[in-house]
């Protein structure tokens, strides 16, 4: 789920900036800024391991915040809307930097050396399949209901899914 949400953030960068009236010549520089934030976040993953619920809850919350913030920026429009949407994309960049590191750490903890690379490949493939299944729905929603409602919807669905996962995890622990 987190993989799909992270991919949606990348996929939405260009359409959102276009919708906000940002000239194409700025896309590269703005995307470069988000990649620097991604790099910084990937280097600072230690704190996430100490948060209640672990890294996947942190990632889900960050992804929810990013889409709600992007949606707010699109709904606001103008220069303020662009700045708010970029803040959302920067939160997305943090989530992406943490996601990749958290995924690798989780796989390293669960898989031994002989199957570690295969496990990473399978996780990536499943995520890509999930994104391939959801991307047309995402595009359809943007065309049908607009950018802001779609972003708000993804943010709210992500919050709901993370809450369900946290509840399921808590229930699993009480049964042990």
3-state secondary structure of 77: coil
pLDDT in tens, 64-94: 999 999 999 999 999 999 999 999 999 999 8
At residue 143 the predicted structure's pLDDT band, cuts being 50, 70 and 90, is very high
Question: What is the pLDDT of the chain when averaged over all its residues?
Answer: 85
pLDDT of residue 36 exceeding 70: yes
* Alpha carbons 14 and 78: distance in angstroms, whole number: 16
Is-contact 103 48, C-beta < 8 A? no
Helix (H, G, I), strand (E, B) or coil at 166: helix
pLDDT at residue 78 in the model? 92
Quote the CA–CA distance of 104 and 23 in Å, as a whole number: 36
Cβ–Cβ under 8 Å, residues 92 and 34: yes
Longest dimension (CA), the chain: 56
pTM of full prediction above 0.85 = no
Q: Which residues, other chains included, contact 104 with Cβ-Cβ below 8 Å and sequence gap of 6+? A: 120
Question: Where does 44-115 have alpha helices with state H?
Answer: 46-49, 54-76, 78-110
Instruction: Tell me what pLDDT residue 176 has.
Output: 58
Domains belonging to the chain, first-starting first, are: 2-175 (1.20.1250)
Question: 58, 106 in Cβ contact below 8 A?
Answer: no
Whether the predicted pLDDT of 162 surpasses 70: yes
Q: How many CB atoms lie within 10 A of CB 26?
A: 11
Contact 28, 155 (CB under 8 A): no
pLDDT (tens digit per residue) in 80-135: 999 999 999 999 998 888 887 777 777 777 777 777 777 778 878 888 898 899 98
Percent with pLDDT over 90 in the chain = 42
Q: What is the pLDDT of residue 52?
A: 65
User: For residues 175 and 166, what is the distance between their CA atoms, to the nearest angstrom?
Assistant: 14
Confidence of residue 149 (pLDDT cuts 50, 70, 90): very high
Can you give the C-alpha Rg of the chain in angstroms? 17
CB 11 within 8 A of CB 21: no
Residue 58's pLDDT is 80
């Amino acid at each position: 789920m987190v993989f799909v949400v992270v991919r949606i953030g990348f996929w939405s960068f260009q359409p959102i900036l276009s919708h906000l009236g940002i000239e194409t010549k700025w896309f590269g520089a703005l995307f470069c800024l988000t990649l620097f934030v991604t790099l910084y976040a990937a280097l600072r993953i230690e704190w996430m391991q100490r948060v209640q619920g672990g890294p996947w809850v942190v990632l889900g919350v960050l992804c929810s915040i990013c889409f709600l913030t992007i949606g707010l920026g699109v709904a606001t429009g103008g220069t303020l809307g662009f700045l708010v949407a970029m803040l959302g994309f920067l939160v997305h960049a943090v989530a992406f930097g943490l996601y990749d590191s958290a995924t690798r750490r989780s796989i390293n903890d669960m898989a031994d050396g002989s199957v570690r690379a295969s496990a990473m490949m399978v996780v990536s493939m499943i995520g890509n399949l999930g994104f391939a299944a959801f991307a047309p729905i995402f595009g359809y929603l943007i065309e049908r209901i607009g950018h802001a409602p779609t972003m708000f919807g993804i943010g709210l669905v992500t919050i709901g899914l993370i809450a369900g996962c946290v509840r399921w995890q808590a229930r699993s622990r009480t049964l042990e």
